[in-house]
Amino acid sequence: MRSIALLLPLAFLCAACDPKPPAATSSGAPMTPTSSVTPPVVADSATPADAPPSAPPVAPPAPGELGGLARSSNALAFDLYAKARVQSGNLALSPISISTALTMTWAGARGDTAAQMKKVLHAEGEPGQAMDVAGKLLASFGGEGSKVTLRVANRLFGEKTYAFEQAYLDRTKAAFGAPLEGLDFKHAFEPSRTHINDWVAKQTQDRIKNLIPTGGLSGETRLVLTNAIYFLGDWMTPFKQESTRPAPFHATATATSDVPTMNQVANFRFAATDGVKLLEMPYEGGEVAMTFVLPDAVAGLDAVEKRLSPEVLDRWVRAMQPEKVLVALPKFEINPASSLALGDLLKSLGMPLAFDPDKADFTAIANPPKPADRLYISQVFHKAFVKLDEKGTEAAAATAVVMARAGSAAPSKPPAELRADHPFLFVLRHVSSGAILFMGRVNDPSAK
């Protein structure tokens, strides 16, 4: 089965090949490999599978490094959004989760496979450099003194009889705190899928469930790279619950329904430009903020989505200025039942070799002597959850890459207005880096 799963809070990489029986210690536990010809690393059975990965504290990236990381991640975000937006209804993605999972995968690619992945990732520099910067940023999220919860967890789940390159395992663990846990994909791929999904659910407060769907893994699976992200933050200026009341929301020019709508007048960064109204609402502490993009026209979202780009978003962010704003914003929850498969989208963006069982080159992850046992990406699964109410926002996502073998002072003028009574976009950003953590659209607040 060829499958790669990419999930917003969690990223999985799976690969399959012929078994190589692991050596054992006197206690019967598998031994840690020192090269690709020795048995694979298997997680210590005494360590709970859901224990958060341990990694030494790291300093956040320098401002120059942050800029490059945000540029790369945001460029991929808009490329993917342009492809994914064709689906109907509400939509949510976690660009930082997707780029993290793919960066871990890219670090194990070689030759033309690596070159294609670098281009799609809009990566600057080499994989090692990109991993170091991304790892530093992720490790700095929600640090001491932070007033929001912002957690990121990474883990590799590998076939326990498959030999991985020790240098790659050391690199991913050092950069992302991603240990390798051994599972029996060959003989128990369904229990392994349940185990991985349970890990993702635990890392995301049960907001991301069943990341890898039934059939997402097989006896050919050999490695799943996982990334999970969870955010919980209170608005710096919360809405009063007593000010929430039903108000019309025009999903289309002809379809209108009443939805619970929050109301307040306060000072926010705001702009009206390019046929849209823009509002930025920060969370406590100012580390993270959400930007809302409301088209002027009721049916204007499609035209706005078509011209989205990192440059456009940057221009809009710079255009916003502190101003007293009357805000009318519907409560909403985006909680998709199924994961989004990103494999075809990523191939169409320019990295088909990674998905080709005959041509993919991931020999830096594992380099078995038989070409039929080498890795390729079979599918990428992604799933994101976003809930917004009077108090603040809760969001979670996971990405799984599955690989298989070839076999503000108030102005005196009246307040500006942002009445989100028709489809709009939202972008949840890490303020200091500019990196997009979550983004999406609300076509119908009453639908999950």
**pLDDT score recorded for residue 92:** 96
For domain 235-332+409-442, is the CATH number 2.30.39.10?
Answer: yes
d(CA 216, CA 196): 12
**pLDDT score recorded for residue 412:** 55
Q: Which residues of the chain have pLDDT under 50?
A: 1-57, 408-411
* Alpha-carbon distance values, 265 to 149, 277, 371 (Å): 26, 16, 64
Q: Specify whether the CB–CB gap between 259 and 246 falls below 8 A.
A: yes
Which CATH number applies to 5-233+335-405: 3.40.50.2300, 3.40.50.300, 3.60.40.10, 3.30.497.10?
A: 3.30.497.10
Q: To 10 degrees, the CA torsion angle through 39, 28, 218, 343?
A: -50
Q: What share of the chain is helix, strand, coil (3-state, %, to 5)?
A: 25, 30, 40
**pLDDT score recorded for residue 40:** 37
Task: Give start-end residues of each CATH 2.30.39.10 domain in the chain.
Answer: 235-332+409-442
pLDDT in tens, 31-41: 333 344 333 33
d(CA 422, CA 259): 11
d(CA 119, CA 136): 22
Degrees to nearest 5, angle at CA 185 with 183 and 191: 75
d(CA 443, CA 66): 32
**pLDDT score recorded for residue 433:** 87
pLDDT in tens, 271-314: 999 999 999 999 999 999 999 999 999 999 999 999 999 999 99
**pLDDT score recorded for residue 59:** 60
The end-to-end CA distance of the chain, in Å, is 31
**pLDDT score recorded for residue 12:** 35
Task: Give start-end residues of each CATH 3.30.497.10 domain in the chain.
Answer: 5-233+335-405
**pLDDT score recorded for residue 313:** 95
Q: Sign (positive/negative) of CA torsion 129, 133, 134, 135?
A: positive
Q: Specify whether the CB–CB gap between 398 and 9 falls below 8 A.
A: yes
Q: Specify whether the CB–CB gap between 64 and 357 falls below 8 A.
A: no
Single pTM value for the model: 0.86
